[in-house]
Structure 1
């Protein structure tokens, strides 16, 4: 017994080495399998299985299984977009038919028919994705080019100053003529000019570029959105564009004429709003009514984003519900004042029909944003239910809207607008359903007019508070996943701004739209502008309190677990919804505690111009090879990589490479020797964790490996013999280094996209490279493999092209 006590004291005294912490970990590690073993005994497994089956049957009896129809459709669409080589459409269709047959042969019992239904829905989602891709067939420009363009203005949108953004149906190119020209392009005109109207022919010299790929592997691919928006190139005019006389064209279809009329109407409304309300106020009003957001200044847009009020600019359920509600209530009250009409006609249905026409016009001038279409479909179903004397169930409306949108345009499933819009709406519907099912008993009963007024005001702010909390919680994971930032003062901003939007801005805007055909809209727009000025003041004030919390790149299981938890929590009714809450909390806990994967050591942009690595002197510090890195790229890298400080390169003014020939001629032997000496001295001066540069070249050491970044293709041979990795921001016919060094050029990165490189600190030239693209191309990446010189396309993406017959060496340069 005494020995046992001494042993215990010895263990307690040994805190620094092992102590209580180690014994607790051992006991906890032993407790987890014991607990799981206890819960997973055969009897308890059977008990849990029966409980889950019973709860699931109750959900089906409530009709909540229908809510998962768009979930499985969307799952199938997302699966098709993520597969490296999707199966053939006819095979998917055959499997879907077999799944439907299996569901039909499953008998009367639902539990035997459900697997077939789930499989059929997933396969149907894949079919919808395949058919949408075949339907688009967008031609994306393969190489940047400066050319003369002419085409018809399909849409236009004013910027915050004098610039205009034009969506153009491209007809001709010249000097040079593009052999594989896109059908539709998006061009920015910065020069002062008379805006070219919609439907007119526009011409000018422009620089066209293909939409950019991911800034880093796994990030947003802008070419994906452009492909499904049928935008084959982006760019800007070199100078002011001009309107020219259109050539005689064949008769256009009625659908094209209706679409052109619709965009012209939208453009006239936006211009009218900006005439009455100049500056950010007019841009804000136009974004709420017509969905045009470019006319707001960058400062105002950033303030709305940082304050958590950017959702106001999206035409969503709030805008649509207020528009429908104002028209419905107003029309019903006006009709009730006419005794003959009130007695002879169902004024409630007439008001609902009028509200349906009103929101249809609203969505037509809104540009068909995802949130606007979702809100329109839900509101239209509710108003249609009034017309046929049927109750409108909100979650069923949401399910129907999601099913229609996914079936028609499955590519939106991967976008933040769709995910955030439906997540917030489902959470609000579910939350308010539970609130109304069990209303709080602590609210006092109002006695007298002042008390009733105070209670109404309290309910308004309580509803705003609850809406803000539910909306923020339901969309937080998507904000973290897509934008890597979370607003910390969105609750305060929404509490201050949303009453202004609901009580002042939207009613005044709707009345202004009704009065616009009569020319009486100006007073209402001024009232709307007054409210929007107050909202902008709230946004700027709240944004000044801080930029929110930045999040680094999350693993894929984070968004999958969060979506699964949210779906179960919002769509179910029984105790199974608590499993969704548990999954959501465990996902958040794991994201906060589980160590992330080891970040790469080197990052290379897809154009090879920007290269970054970690600086070892402080956490979150990155070194770049440019004094002025591309804001478009680097602003995407910062939050994803957690960059908080930037080390700019050291400039060596005493070293200078020989002058490059303006006609692309090879360097003379003397110039080659001079370039070799300069590059040798540059590599010798290289330090770890920070670039050392001369004009046209930079060097750095990473774990003893020499890295050179170059802008000069004529000295790539010398660079290959001196470095372990050469990054060339130019096109070159040289595709590999004879010395064995890795050569990354603008040409090879066009196929692979941006790169992340891990460098083994223990051995020389041991690299692990992760490209953005590899294997067979997707329809929205195939343009990267197209060669306009031979009109051929490669079959696979690759990081490095096959070795050249003329490998680069110290005596072999490429001009």
Structure 2
């Protein structure tokens, strides 16, 4: 007894000593990283925002808020004057603020959303006009005043309609009043798992419906019949440079990409040059640099100003005005505003005599954007731009990289090699940093993008943009033609580079949808490596490696079904994808191919060896190890005799139909019809591990989902099965129309 009583205090004392040693180690590490701690505030704010998007309902959001508040309180209570407790408390508070901020934002922008597809007539005022010359249509945003002749509060207040250029009347400009008859539909949710969620984007933009105009008429013209400066400048540039070259030039000046041909835009994406088409940090930096360089030289001509030392300050002010004006001219979109804020912070740092480009500057820009637009966190543009900037700044802040790439007095060829090595190293690092984001959002990763950008970025920054700016200024005196010729030749060279890189073997790696957990691990690990400075930073490579292995190990989907049930992609034994319907549109084909991790032309299912199809049904088989998976899918709007259809249902593993199937039609494994797809949305199925992924998550209560009663709304109106005399003839002859024998006879 005495021995036990003696050993108990010693064990407790040993535990306290171990805890004290661990606490001391954490404190020493945080002390060494004290200058980096502030960089994690926007990270924790973003973590709270991301948690709101991941958790399904208010119960989870409230629990996360209470949990973070409890962690903050406990950390402060146990802090005892050290950094560890205060750091944990600050991170927990930032996490809670981020979650509460995006929750409040989602409720603050709440607006009516169209419940189902409908043909309506409305009167409203045009808020935005965006021409799409490459597609022969114009997109018109309308603030609705009256709906079907009535003023109602339960209908969308803001809609977007596409108008064919041939049907667009003169006078449809911003602030004009129009009457529109259009076929509208609710903002579409992701067609399949991993696809673009337009419904979420539309919710935060207050957009309640989209569609195509059947008829549009101008009721009252705007105060001036003249177009806005942005539209006029776009038309002027496109008139000087026809085709995609003019579209790219217009994109650099006004942010309007409508004139770029689809094949050229796709080549730019595959070559890793798509960032040149959206006004972002590169373009703002070029505009600020050009204006500041000109202002410095012009102001230096005044001896009085030069002697006072105010030239850099005045030049910085001119550059700030240029950044703000350029942002306004290009539409003041969130990515452009984000870049403008960063440019203004750089100019402010220069004015105060501080180091201009640092990770603290990047963190400050991210914090401003997340507070103003918390929903921007989940957008690809936010993630790509901040990941690229963080990687570049973190690399060049590292002492070894700074010593290697710092300019110095040396021979021209050594300087060229050093600058080329700096560009190549930076490009490769940026490609590595952006690869997880590109795979997560676009399911593709460019392989040669770093090499293409080494030429494309200097070409755009130092040749195209200055020449285009000079041409626009000389156009005031009708002398800009020579510079427009130079700009055109340079842009055609840029397009040639894009097509050459895009068509190179292995230029694009296509991967299926990345698991969100793997994506989170890779982002967290990358931030850990970039933001810390001690050797502990390399521990971040572990989650990056785990996330990459998880992504690679995730089986590709063998069956992808869209949320309306009309389209599906079936993977053959050779890894290729085939489409159920022969006449699927380009958007459907691209969506199914991207989310299936397939980079190629998809054949029709009826033309493959593993399938047998007639006009109404398709039967497909796939050998998986020792198992054979069978699929039955409807591919027309006609009713198939119920008895024969039910018999086929019982003999297959999976049934897919765009309409409601009979109750007795139940496949051995999975039945996807109109009723089930309305609850789940699009579905992706992997046969290797028998996993099923759906667009909709059970009890998901995010506002863009619950707006329509919690049901999935297909992008196309539900087509009723054909009836009447023709349908009866069709049903009598469905077995005899070139159907495979196993479908005609009911035998499998």
Look up the match of 1:529.
488
CA distance in 2, matches of 1:578, 1:50: 21
- How far apart in 1 are the matches of 2:307 and 2:407? 39
Q: Deviations over 1:668-717 (max 9, x none)?
A: xxxxxxxxxxxxxxxxxxx99424222x4444567576734254375585
2:30, 2:93 → 1: CA distance? 20
Q: Structure 2 matches for 1:298-337, cutoff 5 A?
A: 298-337=262-301
Any conservation in 1 of the 2:388–2:434 contact (CA below 8 Å)? yes
Which position in structure 2 is the counterpart of 1:648? 604
* Residue 86 in structure 1 maps to residue 26 in structure 2: no
Q: Separation in 2 of the partners of 1:456 and 1:53?
A: 43
Aligned pair partner of 2:120 in 147, 161, 176: 147
Once structures 1 and 2 are overlaid, which stretch shifts more, 494-503 or 431-440?
A: 431-440
130-139 vs 717-726, which moves further? 717-726
Structure with max Cα Rg: 1
Q: Is structure 2 residue 554 aligned with structure 1 residue 596?
A: yes
The correspondence for 1:276, drawn from 232, 240, 243, is 240
8 Å contact 1:509–1:524 — kept in the other structure?
yes
Change (3 A) 1:343 1:740: closer
Alignment pair present for 1:135 and 2:108: yes
Indicate how the Cα distance of structure 1 residues 470 and 691 shifts in structure 2: closer, same or farther if over 3 A, else same: same
Q: Is the 8 A contact 1:187 1:236 kept in 2?
A: yes
In the alignment, what sits opposite 2:526?
566
After superposition, where does 1:376-775 map in structure 2 within 5 Å? 376-434=340-398, 438-440=402-404, 446=410, 451-452=411-412, 454-512=413-471, 524-546=483-505, 547-589=507-549, 591-592=551-552, 595-597=553-555, 602-615=559-572, 618-643=573-598, 646=602, 648-650=604-606, 689-694=610-615, 696-700=616-620, 703=628, 707-709=632-634, 711-712=636-637, 715=640, 717-718=642-643, 721-722=646-647, 723-724=649-650, 727-730=656-659, 737-738=663-664, 744-746=672-674, 748-757=676-685, 770=694, 772-775=696-699
Give 2:328's match in structure 1, choosing from 364, 386, 391: 364
Larger mean CA deviation between 160-169 and 373-382 belongs to 160-169
Report if aligned partners of 1:776, 1:797 keep a CA contact under 8 Å in 2: no
Within 5 A, what are the aligned runs for 1:145-184? 145-161=118-134, 162-174=136-148, 180-184=154-158
| 1:418 to partner: Cα distance | 1.0
Q: What TM-score results when the alignment is normalised by the length of structure 2? A: 0.81
| Cα gap change, 1:471 to 1:510, in 2 (>3 Å) | farther
Distance 1:276 1:749 in 2: 50
In the superposition, relative to structure 1, how do residues 417 and 166 fare at CA in structure 2: closer, same or farther (>3 Å)? same
Aligned length, in residue pairs: 685
C-alpha RMSD of matched pairs (Å): 3.9
Secondary structure in 2 aligned to 1:155?
Answer: strand
Native 8 Å contact 1:266 1:365 kept in 2 = yes
For 1:222 and 1:238, the matched residues in 2 are separated by 23
Verify: 1:221 aligned to 2:194, yes or no.
no
**Shift of residue 381, structure 1, vs aligned partner:** 1.0
CA, structure 1 residues 501+48, in 2 after alignment: closer, same or farther (shift >3 Å)?
A: farther
Conservation of the 8 A alpha-carbon contact between 1:775 and 1:797 = no
In the TM superposition, what whole-angstrom CA distance separates every residue of 1:11-49 from its partner, at most 9, and x where no partner exists?
A: xxxxxxxxxxxxxxxxxxxxxxxxxxxxxx999999888
8 A contact 1:620–1:642 mirrored in 2: no
- Taking the aligned partners of 2:548 and 2:65, their CA distance within structure 1 comes to 38
Name the CA distance, whole Å, in 2 between partners of 1:263 and 1:51: 65
Distance in 1 between the 2:323 and 2:225 partners? Answer: 18
Q: Distance in 1 between matches of 2:662 and 2:688?
A: 21
Q: In structure 2, what is the equivalent of residue 243 of structure 1? A: 218
Q: Greater CA deviation, 572-581 or 294-303?
A: 572-581
User: Shift of the alpha carbon at 1:67?
Assistant: 0.5
Structure-2 change in CA distance of 1:708 and 1:531 (3 Å): closer
Distance 1:556 1:525 in 2: 46
Instruction: Provide the secondary structure at the position in 2 that maps to 1:295.
Output: coil
Greater CA drift, 642-651 or 320-329: 642-651
* Matched-pair contact (CA < 8 Å) for 1:603–1:612: yes
Normalising by the residue count of structure 1, what TM-score does the alignment of the two structures yield? 0.75
Q: How far off its partner does 1:80 sit?
A: 0.5
CA distance in 1, matches of 2:406, 2:392: 22
Shift of 1:365: 1.9
Task: Spell out, residue by residue over 1:60-110, the C-alpha distance to the aligned partner (whole angstroms, 9 max, x if none).
Answer: 1xx211111110001000101111113498887777777666666545322
Deviations 1:310-362 (CA, angstroms, capped at 9, x unpaired):
11112222222222122222212211211123335622211111111110111
Aligned partner of 2:704 among 775, 780, 790: 780
Secondary structure of 1:781's partner?
helix
Residues 705 and 526 (structure 1), Cα distance of their counterparts in 2 relative to 1, 3 Å cut: closer
How far residue 201 of structure 1 moved from its aligned partner, in angstroms, is 2.3
Superimposed CA distance per residue, residues 278-315 of structure 1 (whole angstroms, 9 cap, x where no aligned partner): 22111101112221112101121112112221111122
| Distance in 1 of aligned mates of 2:94 and 2:397 | 28
Which of these residues, 95, 99, 103, is aligned with residue 122 of structure 1?
Answer: 95
Name structure 2 gaps, 5 residues minimum.
1-14, 623-627, 715-727, 732-748
CA displacement at 1:493 relative to structure 2 = 1.7
8 Å contact kept, 1:300–1:540: yes
Deviation at 1:262, TM superposition (A): 14
- The alignment status of 1:293 with 2:218, answered yes or no, reads no
- Once residues 600 and 339 of structure 1 are traced to their aligned partners in structure 2, the CA distance between those partners, rounded to angstroms, is 70
CA distance in 2, matches of 1:458, 1:758: 49
Equivalent residue, structure 2, for 1:28: none
Deviation of 1:371 after TM superposition, in Å, equals 3.7
Q: In the alignment, is the contact (CA less than 8 A) between 1:103 and 1:117 conserved in 2?
A: no
Are the equivalent residues in 2 in contact too, given 1:168–1:185 (CA < 8 A)? yes
- Shift of residue 609, structure 1, vs aligned partner: 0.6
